[in-house]
Copies of this chain bind each other. A is one copy, B any other.
């Protein structure tokens, strides 16, 4: 097994309440406290957010970068010239990068899976590329990621058992190759658990992977179209079997409800495009549910988006003004709604952490549901 390990990585549990836990993770660019939500910075920017505002106002502790997208644009040469992704994008806190696997496998008709890796044509120029486990580790090391993700296949919901079995076995081989491909001692590496929503497959892949010396583990293959309950059941089964001494990251999830439910089931880390993407579509997450700011009902509404929120948007602007900005396609609408949505997500996980440390997570969860869907907010 590998000679290279991450020398700066540290993980400790700060408290636990039922299955929910509060932990502190240390990586090359500092620490972050869980449960945590990681804003998505696909192309080297969390869309519509200045990095200093992300730190000072949103209190983001770690962001996610997309290996596939950054590899294509601006490309490794440009990022390498800057000294890495942190330096290029002006972000000095931790960064987690995905492996590109999820994006590559989304290119359904444009990719071919081989034992060695995946050949694909990119979605921009149509050029041919070949991603192998070794290649995606090399890319993530150029990015200078604090937490790299192993290269896996994420099969769509509903594949047959034979395919799932073959895919899982190949993913295991690929992930082992990722461990062996590391050269930097300041980049942690997480393994990714597949197996869909089938308990048997999940259990099998967890057993195969969790004996390997990854710094943490991600639950992959969810949020791909399955029902919420199937997701929750799979998460519950997974966290029970995953090692307690390493971080647990649920990839690509989710709604505020998803976060609360999965924190309650022992997940530490989340990422999702929902708060940022939906903000740009005028959908704001509030303590009372979703406010679709374009709706006529808000045209004369002088209240803030979310009475309980202390963000710049909620302390300075009315729903009526935000609606005006959104309808006039003003960039400021995206800025203000993104700021609010991310603040809401980070407040949510921060409040969950406090509740866990205070031993009142169940009450936190009850309060969360009790406030939903009032004052014009929708599910």
- Which residues in A have some Cβ–Cβ distance to B below 8 Å? 43-45, 47-52, 73-74, 77-78, 81-82, 88-90, 280, 299-300, 302, 312, 316-318, 320-321, 323-325, 327-328, 330-332, 334-336
Residues of B within 8 A of A312 (CB): 50, 52
Residues of B within 8 A of A74 (CB): 299, 320-321, 323-324
Interface centre among A48, A317, A321, A327 (most CB of B within 10 A): A321
Residues of B within 8 A of A77 (CB): 300
- On whether the beta carbons of A48 and B324 are closer than 8 Å, the reply is no
Task: Output the least CB separation between A155 and chain B (Å).
Answer: 29
Residues of B within 8 A of A331 (CB): 47-48, 280, 331, 334-335
- On whether the beta carbons of A45 and B325 are closer than 8 Å, the reply is yes
> 10 pairs across A/B with beta carbons < 8 Å?
A43-B328, A45-B330, A47-B332, A73-B324, A73-B327, A74-B299, A88-B318, A90-B316, A280-B331, A331-B334
- On whether the beta carbons of A317 and B48 are closer than 8 Å, the reply is no
* CA A253 to CA B334, docked complex, whole Å: 29
Residues of B within 8 A of A327 (CB): 73
Residues of B within 8 A of A78 (CB): 299-300, 320, 324
- On whether the beta carbons of A82 and B332 are closer than 8 Å, the reply is no
Q: Is the interface of A mostly helix, strand, loop or mixed?
A: helix
Task: Output the least CB separation between A207 and chain B (Å).
Answer: 41
- On whether the beta carbons of A82 and B43 are closer than 8 Å, the reply is no
* CA A324 to CA B89, docked complex, whole Å: 11
Residues of B within 8 A of A321 (CB): 44, 74, 82, 88-90
Residues of B within 8 A of A43 (CB): 324-325, 328, 330
Instruction: Closest B residue to A315 by CB, please name it.
Output: B90
Residues of B within 8 A of A44 (CB): 321, 324-325
Residues of B within 8 A of A50 (CB): 312, 332, 335-336
| In the complex, the 6 A-B pairs of residues with the closest C-beta atoms, listed nearest first | A74-B324, A48-B331, A90-B316, A45-B332, A43-B328, A88-B321
Residues of B within 8 A of A47 (CB): 330-332
- On whether the beta carbons of B317 and A90 are closer than 8 Å, the reply is yes
Task: Output the least CB separation between A1 and chain B (Å).
Answer: 38
- On whether the beta carbons of B335 and A82 are closer than 8 Å, the reply is no
* CA A327 to CA B50, docked complex, whole Å: 18
Residues of B within 8 A of A302 (CB): 81-82
Residues of B within 8 A of A73 (CB): 324, 327-328
Residues of B within 8 A of A48 (CB): 331-332, 335
Interface centre among A88, A302, A320, A324 (most CB of B within 10 A): A324
Residues of B within 8 A of A320 (CB): 74, 78, 81-82, 88
Task: Output the least CB separation between A159 and chain B (Å).
Answer: 33
* CA A334 to CA B335, docked complex, whole Å: 11
Task: Output the least CB separation between A10 and chain B (Å).
Answer: 29
* CA A44 to CA B316, docked complex, whole Å: 14
* CA A321 to CA B81, docked complex, whole Å: 11
Instruction: Closest B residue to A51 by CB, please name it.
Output: B316
- On whether the beta carbons of A332 and B52 are closer than 8 Å, the reply is no
Task: Output the least CB separation between A139 and chain B (Å).
Answer: 16
Residues of B within 8 A of A328 (CB): 43, 73
Residues of B within 8 A of A299 (CB): 74, 78
* CA A332 to CA B335, docked complex, whole Å: 9
Task: Output the least CB separation between A122 and chain B (Å).
Answer: 14
